[in-house]
Every structure is written in C-alpha cells, then in structure tokens.
Amino acid sequence: MALEETSPNPLRAAQQEIRKAVQALNLDPIVADLLSEPQRFVEVSFPVKMDDGSTRVFKGYRSQHNNALGPFKGGIRFHPEVNADEVKALSIWMSLKCAVLGLPLGGGKGGVKCNPKELSRRELEELSRAYVRSIAQVIGPEKDVPAPDVYTNPQVMAWMADEFSSLNGYNTFGVITGKPLEIGGSAGRSEATGRGCVFAIREACARLSIPLQNATVAVQGFGNAGSVVARLLHEMGARIIAVTDSTGGAYRSEGIDPISLLEFKQQTGSVKGAPGTTPLSNEQLFALECDIIIPAALENAITAAVAEDIRARIIAEAANGPTTPEADKILEDKGVLVIPDILANAGGVTVSYFEWVQNLTNYYWTEEEVNRRLEEMMVRAFQDVYQMHLDKKVSMRDAAYMVAVNRIAGAMKVRGWV
C-alpha cells in the first residue's frame, strides 16, 4: 500500500501522542521536546553495481531516537516509500516499545528507499552490505543494534553482520539481531512478533470475556507478522475468516487454513485466488463482522473512513502505526479495544533483546526457554498497560504511551538530561 502525499504523517502523530502522555503524567514539557526528535539522524547515499553493469545510487537512513535506557535498537526497512519522517516515527515507536516491555534498550530505526522485489539476490546482497558500510560508524553492539523490518529478513541480517564483522576485524554478531541460527540468531526470533501479538490478544480476550475458541479473525497483511498470528490463532481454535496482502484478499466464512494459505502465497505470490476462498478488498476486510482485526502491514491502514465501518471488538496492531489519530478517536468512541503497536508487536524486539543477550554471553537458549520468557514479558507488559488504562480511564494507546514515556523520562532524569 502506497503512502501518498496526503497520508497523515506518522511522525506528527507520534509527537502529538507523546505530548499528550507528558501532560497526563505532569512531566516537564522539555521531556516532550526531547522525545519529539531523534538524538541523531543519519542520511546516507551509496552506489550499488547492478546486474546490467550500470550503477545506481540508493538513499538510506538511520534514526537514533533515544538511548536513555540502553543502546538504540530497531529494524531496517527496505521499501520504495521509505522517507525521513517515516523512519523517525518508527524510531520513536521503538523507544516506546522497548520501554513498555521494560527492556534495557533505546529506540532506533533504519531504512533504504528501494524495491527489493525488483532486485536480484546479488543486487540485494550488494545493497545490504553497502548500506551497512555507510552506517558502520554509528552502529555496534553497545551503540545501536539493527534488526529486520518490512521486506528485510534473516539473510539480509547475515550479510550485514558479515560486512560489519569484516570491517571490525572479528565476528561481531551482537551488532544485529534477527540473524539466521547458524550465526548467532535466536531460536524463536522469526516467529516472535506474531507470537507476542497472540499473547497480547489472548490477554485482551480474557479481560473482555471473548473465548478464543471460534472467535472470528481478519488479518490485513500476510508477511512475517500476519501469517504467524493467523497460524497461532488458528491453532488456538479461532476462525481466520479473511486475509489480505498487498496484492488482494481471500475470504471464507467457515475459516481459512493459514498453513495452506501460506503455501499458496509462496507458490503464487499472493493470497488472492486461494482455493475455496472468495476475493475481498482491504475496505471489505475492515468492515467485516468479526471479533478481532489484525492490521499487519504498513502505516495508515485504518483511516477515519475505515474506522467508521469497523465492527470488530478488538484491534491488535501487529504493524507499526496502522491507525491514524482521527481513526483512533472514532474507535475509542465506539468502544473498540485497540491493543497499540508499541505493545502488540513488541514480541519481535523482545526476542531480539534475548538474541543480543545470547550473543554477548555466547550461551544459547532453547526455543521453549525463549517462548516462555517472551510470554512472561508480554503478559507483564499487557498488565502494566491495562492497569494504566483502568486507573487513568484512558485508551490502551494513551496508557501504553504513559507507561513508556514515564520509564524513559525516569531514566533521563537520573542521568541528568532533564
């Protein structure tokens, strides 16, 4: 989905929400000023030799938002619509996400403006290595630790870890997370965003007395997060009635088997046309009569117009920034429980944190151990946010921002920054 010029600016939305939290917490407004911009923003441009012999110049960014709680942490996005404000917003959300989960990490984010679907494997490797060379001075296990995001994956992380290790002169696996298992990746990392989201959904359903057995679910986006959420919820007895991706959608009122759907998508490149399903658009998906909707694609999927039509009881934001501030207000008035991105999709960075700890100690955990600790941290974070939501009578998003901003502000205060 393209982010058009007229789309709401996610950076403005994040800044507004931070200001609101700072006011609600009665903190010094300087905290909001400080959290509204990254501490450091790096813009790079670098050449890549293409297969046809030509050279192309690509633009990349790394936003280091805040490191009061620990090293900057956050993914790298490869997408044609990547831009400076988007990367800044995403880095703010990383700081907040790490704080909500109680991780000793700050927030960062990177991006390269490119269309990875049009690059050959060799071009993608060249681009990944060139980007890392251009930001190598500002990243490192104790400084800033990247990870995967939209259209990047463990293989891209492996090339980047390898390039950084070459520059450094020794294996430096702790520089990046989301790596393949062969070179210091963590068990459970590839599924962590989806699995963490499912823990949050389970907690929300329990609070609202919605049984997961037979609960009806619609998933927008069938990538790393959406496909895992769909599969795990299906395993727990929920009914996945609709799935869309960037090319189209699939609907089946009796429920779709997410494993067959993933196989179909891997073969054809799309969920559209999967056997036994009828096509449906994103607009139709959001307007479905169902219990839970999971936006798992890009920013600004739920605009005010979309929110008007929503009939679900829970929205779990597996994507970053899928709901615009106007839409948020409409959903709040309707009484829809929105599990905000900085809580709902924090499972990814939580297991990235575990991966980093394993790299630094060079001692590796089993998948059971990883999943057990992930569950413990997600349940605790959900409870912290839910309690704030009840105590202060604010939305779950406002509550999550308040929990996060309070923790970051506490660290900044003792460090003498504010």
Residue 73, interface with ligand GLU (CB under 6 A)?
A: yes
Count how many residues are written for the chain: 418
SS3 250: strand
Residue 134, interface with ligand GLU (CB under 6 A)?
A: no
Specify the residue, 224 or 277, whose C-beta has the smaller distance to ligand GLU. 224
Residue 103, interface with ligand GLU (CB under 6 A)?
A: no
Residue (of 5, 182, 98, 75) closest to 405 by Cα position: 98
**With CB under 6 A as the contact rule, which of the stretches 23-31, 68-76, 78-86, 367-375 interacts with ligand GLU?**
68-76
Q: Which residues sit opposite 109 in a β-bridge?
A: 63
**With CB under 6 A as the contact rule, which of the stretches 127-135, 153-161, 241-249, 341-349 interacts with ligand GLU?**
341-349
Which residues, including other chains, have CB under 8 Å from residue 225's CB and lie 6 or more apart?
193, 194, 197, 296, 318, 319, 345, 348
Residue 313, interface with ligand GLU (CB under 6 A)?
A: no
Residue 359, interface with ligand GLU (CB under 6 A)?
A: no
Specify the residue, 68 or 288, whose C-beta has the smaller distance to ligand GLU. 68
Specify the residue, 151 or 251, whose C-beta has the smaller distance to ligand GLU. 151
SS3 268: helix
Specify the residue, 148 or 249, whose C-beta has the smaller distance to ligand GLU. 148
| Residue nearest ligand GLU, CB atom distance | 75
Q: What character string, x for contact with ligand GLU (CB under 6 A) and - otherwise, covers 74-93? A: xx------------------
Distance CA 231, CA 175 (A): 31
Give the torsion through C-alpha atoms of 412, 76, 398, 236, to 10 deg.
-130
SS3 188: coil
Residue 345, interface with ligand GLU (CB under 6 A)?
A: yes
Residue 317, interface with ligand GLU (CB under 6 A)?
A: no
In Å, how far from its chain's centre is CA 264?
25
Residues carrying an active site annotation: 109
- H/E segment holding residue 325: helix 325-334
DSSP letter (8 states) at residue 115: -
Binder of ligand GLU out of 139, 348, 374, 408 (CB under 6 A) = 348
Residue pair 337/400 in contact (Cβ under 8 Å)? The answer is: no
Q: Residue numbers of the site for ligand GLU (CB under 6 A)?
A: 73-75, 97, 147, 149, 177-178, 320, 345, 348-349, 352
